[in-house]
Amino acid sequence: MCCRIWEGNKYQDCGHFYHLWQEPISVIDCNNASCTHSARHPPNCRNCFHHLKHWEPDMLKTLYRRTGICPNCKRAAAAGGS
Ligand SMILES: [Zn+2]
Ligand SMILES: [Zn+2]
Ligand SMILES: [Zn+2]
């Protein structure tokens, strides 16, 4: 199965990895013709029902280690009050 590599920042206080981009910075191709994400997979595949459609667990590339909490947690804290 193919694997996506994401770039982001790691926040010390909440321990979350915050994705910087909507798209992965790169994808590791498994070179398997029966994997729908692979470049080897035929575009007009007829047996796609049986083919692999899920991804390997994401690979996370930390750009910066930040102190504090991530923007998601900040937003949640601001919305949720206490
Ligand atoms: Zn694959
Ligand atoms: Zn297929
Ligand atoms: Zn967080």
Query: For 38-63, what is each residue's pLDDT tens digit?
Result: 999 999 999 899 999 999 999 999 99
pTM passes above 0.85: no
Closest ligand (CA of 11): 3
Task: Identify the DSSP state of 46.
Answer: S
Rounded to the nearest angstrom, the distance between the alpha carbon of 33 and the centre of ligand 2 is 8
Per DSSP, 42 falls in state -
Instruction: Name residues with Cβ closer than 5 Å to ligand 1, which is an ion.
Output: 1-2, 30, 35, 37-38
Query: 63 CA distance to ligand 1 centroid (A)?
Result: 26
**How is residue 31 written in tokens?**
């070179």
Residues contacting residue 45 through CB under 8 Å, at least 6 positions apart: 36, 51
pLDDT reported for residue 80: 81
Q: What is the 41 CA–ligand 3 centroid distance (Å)?
A: 37
